Structure 1
Amino acid sequence: MNCGYSCIKERILNLNKIQFSFFTLVLLLVSACSDTSNKLTPVELQGRTMGTTYSVKFFATEQQIRTEQFYKDIEALLETVNQQMSTYRPDSEISRFNTSANDEPFIVSSDTAYVVQSAIDIGVQSEGALDITIGPLVNLWGFGPNGHVESAPTSEQIALAKGLIGIDKLLVKGRTLIKTQDQLYIDLSAIAKGFGVDKIAEYLEAKGINRYLAEIGGEMRAKGKKMDGSLWRVAIEKPTSAERAVQQVVDLQDKAIATSGDYRNYFEKEGKRYSHTIDPSNGKPITHKLASVTVIHDSTMMADGYATALNVMGPQKALEFAERQNLAVYLVVKSAEGFDVKYSSGFSSYIQ
């Protein structure tokens, strides 16, 4: 059958339609695959570290979940922090420094040197309220790796231990630590958990994860928002040992939060309660009315360290210090009726 010009033109148009339909189908398939690969999936990891628990919540693509070893990597980096800074490990960097000779330069990792120097800086700012050389007193009162004591130490024992502490007896030069006091003993428990959280955050962001909530023992750091567009909601616990209840809820974005209090870690002897928080100025557990301190900061490590320092100070000095340093601080103070709340001007935007 002969086909004229109009017939040939019709065939070309039909062929073009088929090609266009096929091209459109390919585009739709590619688009669908792209949407699936870029879809964010919630991930939650949990474990134990530093004598407590940790949890990490974040959102990742399916490709990231398939190719990355998030749990293994986080476990490894937390193991590294423990091996650097735990006084419960005899072979950790800090434990080996604690048993090193007086005036002997001791080289540590850059992370350990950074944490020690940061703690010294907070100690200087707080006029000694945070003192990472307080280890002899912590051990004396039974809150260190040696375990609980049968009775409260004597005034003579306290005076002897006080003579062994002081951040002025500790020097940091690059990655080198030097003690100028024999038996100087560093305890980083007031700041190491916060540093661990920051290391998790650093790792996640290096992997392109920008929506997460990382936590170790209640010290947290949040980045971005959840998938529904809401902020990460964090509860400040009511400082009672009898029950777990919420004192205050705050929304957190691109910030860290840490709380220090004596309502969980203490011991009682002969009807008297002894807090685990030791005041370096007198060598004894704190006795003021400040029940808990919460600090919001860019760095979890700094929030952790500041919270401990403020908890030592007591409510009035803590609030004055927070205003001078422009810190976002929330205080829960014991009262005859239960608890009173005080907070710095920097914290006011977090109150709901």
Structure 2
Amino acid sequence: MGTYYVVKLYSAHELDTAALQQQIDTELELVNDLMSTYRPESELMRFNRFDSGKAFPLSEQTRVVVAEALRLAEQTNGVLDVTVGPLVELWGFGAHGRIEHAPDQADIDNARSVVGYQKLTLSADGLTKSVPQLAVDLSTIAKGYGVDRVAEILEHNGIDNYLVEIGGEMRIKGNKPDSQPWKIAIEKPVNAERSVQRILQTGDMGVATSGDYRNYFEEGGIRYSHLIDPRSGQPIQHKTVSATVLHPSCMTADGYATALNVMPSEEAIAFANRYNIAALLVVKTEDGFTELASDAFKPFLTE
């Protein structure tokens, strides 16, 4: 997944931590082997090369992630679209590496012609694409799925007090050894330093944050974010710099956080309130940053 993982846990019974770590490493390697866009022979990349009109058989793990991605795509009216890969690559934020100049409109239009979750069909036989060049990128949701899988391993081993993090996405359950709840920090969205925007006590919850303040390039005074709006084929240009979502499933939180960061803030909060999503947006203003919270997030706001 191109990032780190951290597991913190507390257990009243003795654990074989070496065996537990081996289970976790094996599971995360499996997720990579199935869904990574950086491994040419992953299940996902083999599907992306698959140009037959027939269904491509999927593992149960990939099926779960694709099904949730398609559900979120439908709910967000295509704002979260896992077929956006060609546009991500075109803008220099994919496996092929960075670019120095923004693509021209003709290239954007060409990429958009092979983008669209509606061109995917998930059935009992597997995953089918109506356009041979269609490519799927699960990076907006698979990391959260990995967190959930690690959490399931811990619970299977009788561990009910833990914090799991993969590259900033988390699942939290129970308490620390001192019986105090886990606390997590939302990062202040600034480039020059790592500082805290807010401390949260979430209870048993998945937590995901999407931000555009570190992954971008600039050309001619214009800042191009890695977050691409599939509706325009362009990087987002609005003032939302991060979106944090709380949800029992980190996979679902991961997808929602990306979608809400792609939407302008007014649209994002209205969407979160419509579907009872606990979301916190950090929005850039002339004086710094302001926070916008959905109704479901407000109970978690404690000074």
The answer to whether the Cα contact below 8 Å between 1:297 and 1:303 also exists between their aligned partners in 2 is yes
> Structure 1 length as normaliser, TM-score?
0.84
Structure 1: runs of 5 or more not aligned: 1-49
Structure 1 equivalent of residue 288 of structure 2: 338
Q: Say whether 1:323 aligns with 2:273.
A: yes
Higher-RCO chain (CA-CA 8 Å, sequence separation at least 6): 2
Structure 1 residue corresponding to 2:192, chosen from 242, 251, 274: 242
The answer to whether the Cα contact below 8 Å between 2:50 and 2:132 also exists between their aligned partners in 1 is no
Q: How does 1:1-352 map to 2 (within 5 A)?
A: 50-61=1-12, 63-65=14-16, 69-174=19-124, 176-352=126-302
Secondary structure of the 1:268 match is strand
Residues 1-33 of structure 1 show CA distances to partners (whole Å, capped at 9, x for unaligned) of xxxxxxxxxxxxxxxxxxxxxxxxxxxxxxxxx
Give the CA deviation at 1:58: 0.5
The answer to whether the Cα contact below 8 Å between 2:206 and 2:253 also exists between their aligned partners in 1 is yes
Give the CA deviation at 1:95: 0.2
Distance (whole Å) between structure 2 residues aligned to residue 88 and residue 59 of structure 1: 34
After TM superposition, the runs of 4+ consecutive aligned structure 1 residues lying more than 6 A away are none
The one-letter code matched in structure 1 to 2:140 is: A
The one-letter code matched in structure 1 to 2:285 is: S
Secondary structure of the 1:87 match is coil
Distance (whole Å) between structure 2 residues aligned to residue 91 and residue 306 of structure 1: 28
Secondary structure of the 1:58 match is strand
Distance (whole Å) between structure 2 residues aligned to residue 144 and residue 61 of structure 1: 43
- CA distance change for structure 1 residues 217 and 196 in 2, over 3 Å: closer, same or farther? same
The one-letter code matched in structure 2 to 1:231 is: P
- CA distance change for structure 1 residues 268 and 232 in 2, over 3 Å: closer, same or farther? same
The one-letter code matched in structure 2 to 1:186 is: V
Structure 2: runs of 5 or more not aligned: none
Structure 2 equivalent of residue 21 of structure 1: none
Give the CA deviation at 1:107: 0.6
Cα RMSD, aligned residues only: 1.1
Bigger share in helix: 1
Secondary structure of the 2:4 match is strand
The one-letter code matched in structure 1 to 2:189 is: P
Distance (whole Å) between structure 2 residues aligned to residue 63 and residue 237 of structure 1: 34
The one-letter code matched in structure 1 to 2:28 is: L
Count how many residue pairs are aligned between Structure 1 and Structure 2.
Answer: 302
Distance (whole Å) between structure 1 residues aligned to residue 238 and residue 297 of structure 2: 22
Q: Larger C-alpha radius of gyration, 1 or 2?
A: 1
The answer to whether the Cα contact below 8 Å between 2:55 and 2:125 also exists between their aligned partners in 1 is no
The one-letter code matched in structure 2 to 1:254 is: D
Give the CA deviation at 1:99: 0.2
Secondary structure of the 1:151 match is coil
Residues 203-233 of structure 1 show CA distances to partners (whole Å, capped at 9, x for unaligned) of 1001100000000010000011112111110
Residues 129-160 of structure 1 show CA distances to partners (whole Å, capped at 9, x for unaligned) of 10000000000001010001131100000000
Distance (whole Å) between structure 2 residues aligned to residue 102 and residue 145 of structure 1: 24
